Structures are given as C-alpha cells and as structure tokens.
Structure 1
Amino acid sequence: MEKNQKTVYISTKDFLVSGESFQLIYDQKFDLLITTPQPDLKELPNYYKSEEYISHTDSEKGMLSFLYQKVKQRALKKKVALITKSNNGIGSVLDIGAGTGEFLKVASEYGWKVQGAEPNEKARFISKEKGIDLIEDFTEFSNRQFDVVTLWHVLEHMPNLEKTISQIETLVKPGGTLLIAVPNYKSFDAHYYKKYWAAYDVPRHLWHFSRSSMQKLFSKEFELKGIKPMIFDSFYVSLLSEKYKTGNTFSIRAFFIGLWSNMKAWQSKEYSSHIYCFKRPKQRQ
C-alpha cells in the first residue's frame, strides 16, 4: 500500500515478544494506521512465538487467558447465530485465520459446512485434534466460493492489504456475506492507553482500522449492511493494556475503563472493536 502521508500518529512497541519499537503512520487515503517498519514476511512468524499469544492456544493458564477462554465460548455461539441470520439459514462458511478451529467446530455442530485456513502450524494441529482440518493458505480456495466468509480479528495481520482484500472478495458467492471483525483505533480505550493499547499489538497487527477505513477499502461490489460492536473487547483489551502499562495481571481500573469505553461508544459509535457485515449482491438475470 502506498504511504500517501507519512505522519506519525503514535510510537509504540512490541510488548509481547521482542520489545522492539515501531511507529504507526497515518494513511490519509484510507483513514488507517500502518505499522512501520513492517517485518519481512519470512521474519513475521517469529513475532507469534509466545505461549501468551492467545489466538494460537486453548490454554486457560493465567487470569487473562482464563477470562478470555470462558467468554469466548459464549461469543462463539453468538457468531454462529450471526452468520446464520446474515445467510438466512445454514450454508457453507470459510473462516480465514481460523486459529485453533473453535468457531468452525461450533458452526459445524449447528450444521454448517465448514472450511478454514490458518498459517500457524501449532494452531492447525490443535484444530485437527478437534476434527477440524485447516489448510495453511486461504488462496488455495481461490477456485471456490462460500455463502459466508469470516475473518475474526485477522485482517489486521495480513500483508499486502489491498491485494488480500481483492482475493478475499472473490471467495464470496453472489448474494453471500463477508463478516470482518477488527479493532478500532478511534475508541476511547485506544485514546486512554495510547502506546500501551494492547490492540495495537505491533508488529503482528500490520494495519489499524477505523469505521471509515472499512468503508473505503472494499470494492463497490460489496455493500456494508451493518456494523456491530464487540462489547467484551474493551474489557479484555483494557486488562491487557494495564498489564503492559503497570505490570499488573489484573486491574479493577481496567474494568472501569472498559465499561466507560462502551458507555462513550453508545453515543460516538466508536467501540473498541466492530464486526463489519458486507453483502455481495446477487447476480442479475
């Protein structure tokens, strides 16, 4: 992506693995932030090598992991309900960045025909133990289309953003749905924690989106039908942000910051994370 305006929005660092410093550059064209420098594609997997990287494990070790896993079970059922509603019934779903396969496992239990892609080998192994086989690269599905394609906190990790979005769009059937969940750098908790905001998660997060970003990035063929808040995210992100800022693994302050972020967003609509619901129109006869 062309960096059409090299304004430094904020400087932060990798709190999880390397401790390295990064700048977030504001991109005026798409109203998003770009992690700079971005690691070489061969080096990028090294930044995920942590037992604390929660998306690649089902561990409940530690307070944050325990809370995350418990809330996740309820959230998974809500996600399945959302894809069912958006599709007007059960169909085929492709989950890109499927992690340990939990979402697809629950979706399959409700009757969905599931497929998934996950680049992390450890996560794919855990998923296979659950009976959900994942492939490494979603582009292997390039000759297929699905009723629903989902990316749950995945788009921010994917290199070559505009090319990747174009590839993803081709996987959605005419009349199908594309659901994408991403953090929102304009939320109250992001402004409050600044460089410590855990959802910056550099350099694993290469891009940092706003509501307007998501309306500008996708082709006109995809109509944005709705934006749904992810209420729990402000609490979890605030807990992790407090850990980065103070070293405390649990903080009452984080609970109140998460709550206040949701209350502020009730008017501003700037929640910590959103789910964007796109529809591809049916082909005309």
Structure 2
Amino acid sequence: METLKSCPACGEKKMTRVLQAKDYTVSKNTFDIVRCASCNLLFTNPRPEAEQAGYFYKSENYISHSNTQKGLVNKLYHAVRNITLKQKTHLIQGCQQGSKNLLDVGCGNGHFLHACQQSGWNTYGMELDPDTAARAAALTQQSIYPNLEAIPNDITFELISLWHVLEHVYELDAYFKFFKNRVAPNGKLLLALPNSNSYDATYFKEFWAAYDVPRHIYHFNPETIQSVAKKHGFKLKTQRGQIFDSFYIALLSHEYKTGKKKLLSSFLIGLLSNVLAFFKTGNYSSNIYIFEHA
C-alpha cells in the first residue's frame, strides 16, 4: 500500500478523512476516502501500489472485465448493455463527420469499440489487462494497444473516450497530457464517471457501490473533474447523466448494506436519484462529461 502525502490533482498537503468503505468484490478490506482541503477531490488513501493493483480486479464479479451473467446484477448489466451502446453511439454522432478516428481508453471487452466500428468510425482501443484486451481484439478483429505509449504518435483523434476508466488511473497528469496532445483541434474528450454528489451516494454513504475501493482511486463530482480538466487545458462542452447506473448501483449498495437485494427499494432509490438529478441538481449517479480544448 502507498499513502499519498498530497492531493494527486492539485498538490495540497492537507486532507481530511470523510469515510471508510469496504472492498466487497475481492479483498474484503476497508479503505479510507479523504477529501483535499483545497480542490475538494475525494480520493482513496492509502491505496494499492500501481504494480499491485491488478490483484483487486481478479474477480468474476468485476463486471466491466467479465462476460459472466451469474447473479442478478450481472444479468441486469448485460440486459441493458445493448440499449446503452445505442445511447452511446447516438451521443457521439455529433463528433463524427465522415470517417473519423476514435480512441477508447480502457476499452474493456470491446463492445463500445465494436458498436463504433459499425457506425463508421476508425476505431482504436487501449486496455491494460491482457485477458480483457484479448476478448476485445477477438470481438473487433483489430489489435488493442496495451498502454498509451504503444499508440502511434502520428495519430490524432476526433474523440477520445473513457467509460468509467479515469477513476482507476494512477498517472492522472500523464493521461491528461496525452489527451491534450492527441485530441484533434476540434475534437472531444468524453469522460463517464461515478458522481459522489449524487443522491444515491449521499443515501448509501460508505455502502455506495460506486466507491468501489480500492479499484476506484478518485471519486469525482462535476466540480472536481472540471477543475482537473481546466488545469490541463480543457473546458466542459456538455454534461448528461447515465440513467441506468443509479438502479444497479442502488441494487449493489443495498446488498452491501443489508445483505439483501431489495429490488423494489433499489428501484425507488435509483428512480429518485434520477428525478432529483433531472429536475434539480444535475447530479446523476454517473455523469458523462464531454470536454473540448479551451
């Protein structure tokens, strides 16, 4: 484990512990989440060293790296995937004029890349986990890069997307430097992230499944991700919610809290979170942010 002495976003040394959350997926250990006194970023501290992080992903219950449909949450996740893929490809149509380059960082099993291929994009994928990358390569019939450094330097992208990836990234500044250099002048950077300001996060507190410690090392909200992006030369173009996330996050969170699925209660909490976000706060369980060069 490593203990950060300063905020990974702004360098502030003063931080305060706000809660302790449990890893229900792999280790069953408890981890501290702290808040930076300057920029208010929440982050896991201490956290696993980067070289040891892979251990915490080795579970069939880790949905984005697994094709398993065991268990109710996995079944629900895969049931709505086709719907969300259509929503995602529709969302990014505005970034595409003709055949354009798209890079999906942390492409997982490759389903989004495959959908974008079918929509006419020139697609590129990057995935750190070799087994997951192999599944993406088999689905897309193209090579998947193992890291950012392997991506050819002469390619720029009309869209770089990270679907629930940035919260895992240890080299935050290095990733944003890459985005700054490789997003085309009129291109976009899309970040989908859990939102620690959502109603369901407030309701479930330390049991909120989207804290997902220690795999999630940052816990962004709209203000903190915009602050990080601004530091690296990006401005927010648009923001919207991922409405399905609140339902399965509530389902998992109830199970973590009570040991029971509580289908009706989970649905109601997820619905309330979406309603409050739509009519009042904008704080969905997960938000999609589309940035452009400032």
Is TM (by shorter chain) over 0.5?
yes
Q: Which amino acid aligns with 1:129?
A: A
Q: Which amino acid aligns with 2:250?
A: S
Give, in whole Å, the separation in 1 of the partners of 2:97 and 2:19. Answer: 42
Cα distance per residue 1:59-117 (max 9 Å; x no partner)? 22221111101111111121111122133454110000000000000100111100010
Range with bigger deviation, 72-81 or 145-154: 72-81
Structure 1 stretches of 5 or more lacking a match? none
The RMSD of aligned alpha carbons is 1.5
- Give the share of equivalent positions with the same residue, in percent: 37
Q: CA deviation at 1:27?
A: 1.4
2:290 counterpart residue number: 277
The alignment status of 1:216 with 2:227, answered yes or no, reads yes
Q: Which amino acid aligns with 2:269?
A: I
Q: CA deviation at 1:241?
A: 0.7
1:260 counterpart residue number: 272
Indicate the SS of the match to 2:145: coil
1:168 counterpart residue number: 179
Mapped contact 1:93–1:115 kept (Cα < 8 A): yes
1:50 to 59, 68, 87: 59
1:117 counterpart residue number: 126
Q: Which residues of 2 match residues 1-285 of structure 1 at below 5 A?
A: 1=8, 2-130=11-139, 131-141=141-151, 143=153, 144-219=155-230, 221-249=233-261, 251-266=263-278, 267-280=280-293
Change (3 A) 1:132 1:227: same
Taking structure 1 as the reference length, the TM-score comes to 0.94
Taking structure 2 as the reference length, the TM-score comes to 0.91
Indicate the SS of the match to 1:98: coil
Mapped contact 2:158–2:183 kept (Cα < 8 A): yes
Give, in whole Å, the separation in 2 of the partners of 1:10 and 1:215. Answer: 23
Give, in whole Å, the separation in 1 of the partners of 2:152 and 2:99. Answer: 22
Give, in whole Å, the separation in 1 of the partners of 2:138 and 2:97. Answer: 31
Give, in whole Å, the separation in 2 of the partners of 1:145 and 1:182. Answer: 23
Q: CA deviation at 1:179?
A: 0.5
Structure 2 stretches of 5 or more lacking a match? 1-7
Q: Which amino acid aligns with 1:50?
A: S
Mapped contact 1:17–1:47 kept (Cα < 8 A): yes
Give, in whole Å, the separation in 1 of the partners of 2:49 and 2:248. Answer: 29
Give, in whole Å, the separation in 1 of the partners of 2:126 and 2:261. Answer: 32
Mapped contact 1:119–1:137 kept (Cα < 8 A): yes
Q: CA deviation at 1:126?
A: 1.2
Indicate the SS of the match to 1:42: helix
Moved over 4 A (4+): none
Give, in whole Å, the separation in 1 of the partners of 2:120 and 2:90. Answer: 12
Give, in whole Å, the separation in 2 of the partners of 1:216 and 1:228. Answer: 17
Alignment coverage as a number of residue pairs: 281
Indicate the SS of the match to 2:90: helix
